[in-house]
Every structure is written in C-alpha cells, then in structure tokens.
Amino acid sequence: MTARIIDGKQVAAQMRLELKEQVDRLKEKGIVPGLGVVLVGEDPASKSYVTAKERACEEIGIYSDDNHLHAQTSQKDLLGLIARMNSDPNIHGILVQLPLPRSLDESQVLLAIDPAKDVDGFHPINVGKMVTGQEAFLPCTPHGVVQLLVRSEVRLEGAHVVIVGRSNIVGKPLANMLIQKNKTGNATVTVCHTKTRDMALHTRQADILIAAAGSPHAITADMVKPSAVVIDVGVNRVADPSKKTGYRLVGDVDFEAVKEKASLITPVPGGVGPMTITMLLYNTIQAALRHRVNAVT
C-alpha cells in the first residue's frame, strides 16, 4: 500500500480562493485588511519567507506595509515601529519575522505587539486564550496542520495523535489545539521530545503521527503504525552536490520508506509549508473583521 499524498499546495490554493472572496466582501464595505511586516537583517531564509508572504497578500488583495530594516537596528527603533503600527487603523495584523538578530530582545518585541494585531499568535495573551479554549489568533503552522487534517477528512475525535517535538512554535500549541473540546479537537495527544525514552514505542501507537523535531529523516518506517496518517512539519537542508544551490530540502520523515506504510502523508516541500502563509492571511482577515465589529460597537 502506498500512501495518498496530502498536497499542501492544493489545499492552500483552495483556502486562498475562499479568503480572497472574504477580502472582496470586506472591500465592498470599505475595509481593506492590512498586514504590517517587519524583517530585520539579511537572513536568506527569512527574506525568502517574507517575500512569499508579501506575494500572497497581493494575490488575495491584502494591503502589506513592508518594513525591511538593517541588522544593526536598535531595540528602541524597532519598538517605535511596532508602536506606530499598533496605532495605525489601516494595519490589522503585525508580523515580526523571527529569528531576530541577537542584539535584539525577541521576547520584549513580541510583548510590544498589540494582542489584537498579533496574527502570528505568539503574544502570551493569545497563547493563554488558546490554551483555555477562548477565541484567539492561533499560531500559523500548527493551525495549518489542523486544517490539512480536517480538509483531508481525517477524523480527529478520539484519535491518538503523537507529536514529535515540543517547540513553542509548533509542538506545544498543536498539542493544545488538538485536545480542545471542539470540532477540530477531542484527540488524545502524546508529545515526544529529546528526553523521551523509547520514542518508537510511542510513535508506533499513533493514528496520526506529526513530526516537528527539526531533524532530517528522524522518523523511519519501523516507527510508524501501518495505515497511520503522517504529517511532516520539518524543513531541513541537506547537502546535495547535484543541486544548483548545493543542498535539497527534506523533512523529519523518511518519506520514501514511510509512504509505503502510511495511509496519508505530507511531502517536503509542498506539504505543511504553504499552509503556514495561508493561515497568516486567515488571521489577518480575522483581525480586520474583529476590528470592524469593535468599531461598530
């Protein structure tokens, strides 16, 4: 049995059509969703990611206020820019691309963003609301994983989900989302990490196995239960002299081997990645809708 591929590009494209329709309806009411983007420094991966986000905004009609700052930007200047965007009624969401240069205090920067504009879902207030099941901006990558599962008609209620990885960006928020008492939750969740004893013992019990460890091919076929659903969040560069760049992208899952054992599987690239940007667009539109409601009330 060869697994069916969950095509993240296709799912993201369908969602973006839906989001564009929402943007068009908002524009008819005189509201243009706005996203303030801040990139500090010249990190190639961050620059590429921000460029893709800017293109996606243009594609569906979101206004993007792009701010590319040099690596020596001071904490004071960065916080001043965030304060300006916090008070700008045309900016509904704020994205500060991480990681920041080491000279900047990342936690202070994230705290400075108005929680009502925190479309990355990293502000402690939004994290707390997410954990307690209140309405909040959900972090984009884990929310994208949930959407991939739901739109692939994977049953979450009662499923045993094993997540490999406990980062604040993916593992922890994803575990919280999946245990919530709602239609996209009600799963039983196990979280594995670098200190887990006999990790394969846990992963082989998973109905849904989610790899988010940041380690190339860490999940091998012998670690996967037959017919499991496998979601690969990892994006790792490995040397490949045959490529013009000198490297290729691989996930945390040994894709070629595991696809012969799983029922559904995401590729890398083209799986979870396109969903991350799509959920950022989703959050920005939600921020614009909430702003409109608050302005009326």
Interhelix angle 140-151/171-179, rounded to 10 degrees, is 50
> Is residue 189 within 8 Å of 206, Cβ to Cβ?
no
Given the residues 22, 117, 118, 120, the one annotated as active site:
120
Choosing from 53, 225, 259, 261, which is the catalytic residue?
Answer: 53
Q: Mark whether 120 is an active-site residue.
A: yes
**CA 284 remoteness from chain centre:** 13
Concatenated DSSP letters of the chain: --PEE--HHHHHHHHHHHHHHHHHHHHHTT---EEEEEEES--HHHHHHHHHHHHHHHHHT-EEEEEEE-TT--HHHHHHHHHHHHH-TT--EEEE-SSPPTTS-HHHHHHHS-GGGBTTS-SHHHHHHHHTT-S-PPPHHHHHHHHHHHHTT---TT-EEEEE---TTTHHHHHHHHHSSSTT---EEEEE-TT-SSHHHHHTT-SEEEE-S--TT-B-GGGS-TT-EEEE---EEEE-TTSTTSEEEE-SB-HHHHTTT-SEE--SSSSSHHHHHHHHHHHHHHHHHHHHHHHH-
DSSP bridge partners of 236: 250
Query: How far is it, in rounded angstroms, from Cα 217 to Cα 97?
Result: 27
Annotation marks residue 53 as catalytic = yes
Instruction: Write the Ramachandran bin of 186: left for phi over 0, alpha for psi from -120 to 50, otherwise beta.
Output: left
CA 53 to chain centre: 12
Per the annotation, the verdict on 97 as an active-site residue is: yes
Active site residues: 53, 97, 120
